[in-house]
Amino acid sequence: MRELNGESGPWGTLVWPGKDGAGQQSYQITDEDVLWGCRMVVGEGPEEALEVLQTMAQRFAFVGAWASLVELYQKYSQPINPIWRRDGAKCKGRVGAQGCEPHRLERRDRLARADLDWLRQERYPASAEGVADALAWFRGEARTSKVRGAVHFAVRSIVLHHVGGNASSPLIVHKGRNWFSAVQGTRHWSVATVSVLPPGGAIPDPQPEPIPDPGLRPEAIRELQRRLAAAGADPGPIDGIWGRKSQAALDHWRAMAREIEAAAAAASLDGGV
């Protein structure tokens, strides 16, 4: 690919566990993914390359709404998609709106046409290092141990809204240009859960997570299963046996509760309540 300026594959394979232990899922990274990923990294802030790429990989794996990484990058990343304003809202055709000024749109157009050589020399001092980090990540060679667990990046209020869906309490941290939520030991959103396998590596068999013991008698489990079902979280049969479906229903209910709390916190920060 001409815009990669001599950088070529083979690239790695993105791997993550399937839902309900249904095998390991994978996606083969392409040249186009790499090019647009580097464009996104320079636009979002090259000093945060690994956090941005890891966050996008988690969204790709667990939201599952995009056919390719490049499709996600182009639709979701504000610096390379001119429909987004700086606060996360859409321009809706208002070129003069905040985040949609002509100079910002011109830079997005330039990023969308940039090759790797241009990206390495972009005005940010860390651009060359950010591109190098991105290329290493796409090859499965990046030290993602440096990433504490980015699950979302945006302005603070948007981060607060989205982190409610995680299975444990997030620590919200601010880096150079983005807010991130760094989460330790969550069920779904963690650096260890989504990774890039180097070229030629065998996709490992997923190890099923142990089911936590709720420490309840069968009658209490049945009551909890009934309440989960009434709340719209499917626990499977109401049989007093705590299995994977019951645990998944409880996780879903807890995530919904956190989503509500985070949305209320975000509204409070934005002056909405």
Question: What contacts 99, CB < 8 A, 6 or more positions away?
Answer: 78, 84, 85, 86, 87, 91
Residue-level pLDDT at 160: 66
108-120, pLDDT tens digit by residue?
A: 889 999 999 999 9
Mean pLDDT of 105-132: 88
244 pLDDT higher than 60: yes
Residue-level pLDDT at 272: 45
Q: Which among 115, 147, 179 is the end of a domain?
A: 147
C-alpha dist (Å) from residue 248 to 147, 167, 174, 229, 233: 27, 11, 31, 12, 8
pTM over 0.75: no
The number of domains in the chain is 2
37-59, pLDDT tens digit by residue?
A: 999 999 988 888 888 998 888 88
* One domain for residues 117 and 236: no
* One domain for residues 126 and 229: no
209-228, pLDDT tens digit by residue?
A: 667 778 889 999 999 999 99
192 pLDDT higher than 80: no
Q: Which among 127, 147, 167 is the end of a domain?
A: 147
Q: Which range marks the domain in which residue 113 is found?
A: 2-147
Domain contains 138: yes
Identify whether the C-beta of residue 99 lies closer than 8 Å to the C-beta of residue 20. no
- When comparing pLDDT for 151 and 236, which is higher? 236
Domain contains 55: yes
* One domain for residues 227 and 143: no
* One domain for residues 138 and 56: yes
